[in-house]
Structure 1
């Protein structure tokens, strides 16, 4: 059931992003069939790997419930409302993703994987699928570890994953938001303009705005750099 909801939400985000890119593009003239083939091809490869950022945490949640793993499976947390567990899952998953993303920019070894994502000289919805299989596995493992450690409920995990993955894909879209919407949403989530700066060819700019979903961690840890449009996207060759 949760898998079906996940698919429906992602398809809805896909359609909305495509509509937004067609009606109000932030950058014009993006058209390259080979680039789209690479982006979606890498996304399909990542999705075919056993430990997906969806399957890994969901499997960990089921195992944690069966074996009583994690802090939330203790007696004092047994009556915690599902909504509260969902909020905890969203907070912890977004923090784990932010931390891993930041580490990938600092580690030469992990950067070899992550630079595949930054290799796109344009930025639109398809870039969200441009992921090295190694990065997909590492992301799945990190979220599965958080799930097992905390003992998060399966539905809470599913809800958090749906929200974060939808925000991540929306952040990569080539959509221009009205200034008021940009100000309001940009205080909490990574808008397309905020995340666009992260894809700058200038390393001083792309080593910032690490939050793909929530932007609060960047603001809290001093890695937020605004939403000014970079001069060039991709990587310096």
Structure 2
């Protein structure tokens, strides 16, 4: 039903569209005044985006939708065994994939080895649309393996996996965007989905705030598992973003950011005002 080339075109078109819209809104309706501008941060962030895209295409050319097609053809997975298909199976597949991504994000903070590579994402000194795709190649590979295992284990409809992949990319860019949304609208949206103000809390240097709001698309998981924080302690304008003074300023360098997983794995403190570098 789907050709891999067509799938890649659809995903790239959706990503380019949502990124362009968010970038324009960031320029016209910024939520925070950025202390570190685009010219300082974007070359490194785009470096990761290009490197990760190339790596995935070389190592996993089949992609998540390709795995879903394979599982469907072979009758693999829960839904294949049960013979379930249609809208019901699609909705359940979408929800379970979103939960799987939430759990993966939680694990990337709780497991020291995973935190080593995930620190690259949090080392950005600001949060905007490019931060959404600022991930170390090691984390991208681990993420693809995890999602691939879940997709095959479920054996859900291919259409649901395709929609999920598109929504995941779009919601990641939207959730990281430095865009001002009216408070009332933000409150209504975050009853269902993750908004930029909700996710920005997660990038705070304060540990209890970083250990919150793990969701990428649906906000229900953080509410359900008790990891939801409504607003940052210091407010969005005054909150400090990143990993603290020992690491964040250096993360504007692509070589430094690429090497972050191989630095000493700083102890994670749980104090109310402690930063993630233990200072």
The equivalent residue for 2:69 is 62
Alpha-carbon separation, structure 2, partners of 1:54 and 1:98 = 24
The within-5 A match list for 1:155-170 is: 155-170=159-174
What are the Cα deviations for residues 29-88 of structure 1, in whole angstroms up to 9, with x where unaligned?
3414231111111111111123789954223212212211012123541xx32x333322
Look up the match of 1:118.
122
When normalised by structure 2's length, the TM-score is 0.79
* Alignment-derived partner of residue 50 in structure 2: 44
Give 2:216's match in structure 1, choosing from 212, 218, 221: 212
Question: Matched residues in 2 for 1:76 and 1:32: separation?
Answer: 50
Separation (CA, whole Å) in 1 of partners of 2:130 and 2:169 = 13
Q: What do you get for the CA RMSD once the two structures are aligned?
A: 1.9
In structure 2, what is the equivalent of residue 31 of structure 1?
Answer: 37
Instruction: Please say if residues 208 and 225 of structure 1, whose CA atoms lie closer than 8 Å, have aligned partners that are also in contact.
Output: yes
Report the equivalent of 1:109: 113
1:203 corresponds in structure 2 to 207
Residue 134, structure 1, aligned to residue 135, structure 2 = no
CA offset digits 1:104-157 (Å, max 9, x no partner): 101111111000000001111111121011111111111111111111222221
In 2, distance between residues paired with 1:181 and 1:55? 39
| Secondary structure of 2:172 counterpart | helix
Give 3-state SS (helix, strand or coil) of 1:58's partner: helix
The structure that has the greater radius of gyration is: 2
Secondary structure (helix, strand or coil) at the match of 1:224 reads coil
Gaps of at least 5 residues in structure 1 are none
Please identify, of 126-135 and 43-52, the stretch whose mean Cα deviation from structure 2 is larger: 43-52
- SS in structure 1 at match of 2:56: coil
- Could you tell me which runs of 5 or more consecutive residues in structure 2 were left unpaired when the two chains were aligned: 1-5, 247-279
Q: Is the 8 A contact 1:53 1:143 kept in 2?
A: no
What corresponds to 1:235 in structure 2?
Answer: 243
Q: How much does 1:191 deviate?
A: 0.4
Q: Which residue of 2 aligns with 1:226?
A: 230
Query: 1:17-36 deviations in whole A, cap 9, x for unaligned?
Result: 01210111001134142311
- Count of aligned pairs: 234
TM-score with structure 1 setting the length = 0.92
Runs (4+) of structure 1 moved beyond 6 Å?
51-54
